[in-house]
Amino acid sequence: MEQLLEKIPWSVAIFFCFTLGLAPFWPPHIVEKLIMLFKGRLVHPIDWFDLVMHGTPWVVLVLKLIYSKR
């Protein structure tokens, strides 16, 4: 996992967070999906797909940050 994260440049990870991770930009889709998740309204498969699609860049960025601190 660490080797895969090292291959992803920081600029690419940040670019995907600010494009795919936040699109559509107002309000950020990931925020809407997280609110739905915490309220228990994330029930449709498309909502789960959206959460995974918009959340993956953020997870990659956080993991890259964690592994870079080691």
DSSP 46-59: HHHHHHHHHHHHHH
Per residue in 24-34, pLDDT (tens digit) is 878 887 888 88
Q: Distance of alpha carbon 19 from its chain centroid, rounded?
A: 10
- CB contact at 8 A, 62 and 25: no
pLDDT at 33: 87
Structural domain count, the chain:
1
Averaged pLDDT score across all residues of the chain:
88
- pTM exceeds 0.85 for this model: no
* Helix ranges restricted to H, the chain: 2-7, 10-18, 29-39, 45-68
How far apart are alpha carbons 26 and 43 in whole angstroms? 23
pLDDT at 22: 82
Of all residues in the chain, the percent with pLDDT exceeding 70 is: 100
Q: Could you list the residue range(s) of the whole structural domain that residue 18 is in?
A: 2-68
Question: What mean pLDDT comes out for the span 7-17?
Answer: 93
